[in-house]
Amino acid sequence: MAIATINPATGETLQTFLPLEDGEVAAKLELAQRTFEQYRQTSFQERSQWLQQTANILDKEKADFAKIMTLEMGKTYKSAIAEVEKCALVCRYYAENAPDFLADVTVKTDASHSFIKYQPLGIILAVMPWNFPFWQVFRFAAPALMAGNVGLLKHASNVPQCALAIEDIITRAGFPPGVFQTLLIGGSKVANLMADDRIKAATLTGSEPAGASLAAASGQHIKKTVLELGGSDPFIVLETAELELAVSTAVTARMINNGQSCIAAKRFIIAETIADKFEKMLLAKFQTLKVGDPFAEDTDIGPLATVDIFQELDQQVKIAVENGAKIIIGGSALKNQPGNFYQPTIIKDIPLNHPIAKEEFFGPVALLFRVANIDEAIKLANDIPFGLGASAWTNNEQEKTRLIAEIEAGAVFINSMVKSDPRLPFGGIKRSGYGRELSIQGIHEFVNIKTVWVS
């Protein structure tokens, strides 16, 4: 697979990169292992200083890093700035909290002294996606490096400049050479990497097939993995919801990152009594959205990241229509314009018995469903293979309790949109993956949780 920067707003190839040869990959692995043996002995204070400096570089040069993201995958420049700022936030969070998260924990037993000790594993392979090309990497790197591990990054092949920039940032921040390295390689090389004894674990954010492939390779060699895969998150609006706020948030939740987010709201499940009003209000807001140049300040939605993603989304919309669904707005590419631009789209009357109703639409397409009551809402929300996040809107306390208890997802947000926060664990269930990132749970994923008993 080509490793290149292709501007999704124009289709222009800006820069190409030669994949690493096997010998070059081997040299990076050897450096990572040598570095780990020394790096694991560094203090939390040293690692914290380096990670704080990483955050400082991100803040100081955020305009440059945002430009790279927008050029490589098409997110709006203003959202790219926000992404860099969030990366600095997660670095500072772990720089400040990791020593407490990884401190020895005394447990009273009949031993003279018994406690839990957290120790690094070694080289962790990170297979990361293009949609949040900085955030996805730093939410892995910050806890992994603070724990004393070293990282190898196999980034998506359409964001090579982001991948190289991240390695450079971490090196310039003062981390020893070899603590974090980028591998410009194709996906076919991942299985061989997992067979190498020096790689102790892996994390992947991406598609179901990619996650299944990594899990299979890791399982063959008995290695730990954390997977964050797809989602088709429900956005439930019940009768007592504050409708104006719910609709405004629905637009933001669906269109975040040009609609290309695993935790974007995708299926809008609306109580029948308010469905007409919700639909009318949602349509009005969709009509005001501006699609275009991602560098323009007033642009709401930029291009989809690749031609393949664009074509897959368009095909899904066509299949839905062929099977009886109705398009309220959009439903096709932006006319007379180069690039991977797709119109903001609302689809309703999707047949529930067709597989398309349970698929993830990775772009600016909202699926509308109507339900008679909370029972139907919860049933429909759970009737998918995914379980990443869910947003639900109601001011009824009994309904809130039921939604929190009964929705099958890694996160439930009541009267708010789903988002990631360094202070809270992030991850899914079912085919959305397993394991957690962020918070104390995230840093504990890639450590040896060692029991110590002293008599």
- Annotated catalytic residues are 228, 262
Handedness of CA 302, 305, 310, 316 (dihedral sign): negative
Contact 183, 152 (CB under 8 A): yes
Q: Which structure tokens are listed for 115?
A: 């406690």
Are 51 and 173 in contact by the 8 Å Cβ rule? The answer is: yes
Q: CA 214, CA 46: separation in Å to the nearest integer?
A: 33
Contact at 8 Å (CB) between 118 and 147? yes
Looking at the DSSP assignment, which residues form a beta bridge with residue 119?
448
Distance CA 368, CA 232 (A): 13
Dihedral, CA atoms, 377, 382, 385, 390, nearest 10 degrees?
Answer: 80
DSSP for residue 189:
G
Instruction: Note the helical H segments in 147-242.
Output: 160-172, 190-194, 208-220
Give the integer Cα–Cα distance in Å for 440 and 444: 6
